[in-house]
Amino acid sequence: MRLSKKGITPVVAVAILIAITVALVAAIAAVSSTAPTNRPAPIATFSAEASVSEGIYIYHEGGDSLYGGDIRIQTYIPSGLYQGSTYEIPSNKITNLRTGASAYSGNIQPGDTLKVSNFYDAFYYKSDWGIYYAPSVGEQFYIEIIHKPTDKLIARVVVTVAP
């Protein structure tokens, strides 16, 4: 007795076509559901002042509220001995005075003041040499606030160091 294999080929072809269709639908659904969002960076205005003896104050003057987890606050020295130095201020060194918590947690609203208590905590420390890469009194530096999800600059404030 011989078995005929003629009926198997159409069944296998249909199964393969169904599998290909399911795979294509799944791939299209995955790509369309994970499409990047083109949300713009928030718009906000800031001012700041810095004093070697009093620390650094950053004022949210107006615009959008910012989620602290979405921002990076850094200093940049544009000229002088440490020209080109950039340093991200660590979360445990910058406080939202309204909430008493780190500026990187919760919302930063217009009217809020952020404070770096120790002026030197906002700059890179070279422990081998025991020096901070910080501007001197009378020199200028930038405070930059960057929106991390878009990597866009929200604000750049020019600050002159006071005694």
15 within domain boundaries:
no
Output the pLDDT for position 2.
59
On whether residue 62 sits in a domain, the answer given is: yes
Say if CB 70 and CB 104 are below 8 A apart.
Answer: no
Averaged in consecutive runs of 10 residues, what is the pLDDT profile of the chain (163 residues)?
61 79 81 66 95 96 95 94 91 93 93 94 77 89 96 96 95
Establish if 127 belongs to a structural domain. Answer: yes
**How many domains is the chain built from?**
1
Q: What is the model's pLDDT at position 114?
A: 96
C-alpha distances in Å from residue 8, one per residue of 5, 118, 122, 127: 6, 79, 74, 75
Residues 9-45: tens digit of each pLDDT: 777 777 788 888 888 888 787 766 655 557 788 999 9
The answer as to whether 139 is a domain residue is yes
77 within some domain: yes
Report if residue 76 sits inside a domain.
yes
Q: Is residue 96 part of a domain?
A: yes
The CATH number of residue 87's host domain is 2.60.40
Q: Which range of residues forms the domain containing residue 51?
A: 44-162
Residue 33 backbone dihedrals phi, psi, to 5 degrees: -80, -15
Asked whether 42 and 145 are in contact (CB, 8 A), the reply is no
| pLDDT at residue 7, as a whole number | 58
Task: Count Cβ neighbours within 10 Å for each residue of 105-124 and write b for 16 or more, e otherwise.
Answer: ebebeeebebebeebbbbbb
pTM, two decimals, is 0.74
Q: What are the tokens at 130?
A: 């025991």
Residue 108 to residue 69: CA distance in whole angstroms: 10
Tell whether 29 is covered by a domain.
no
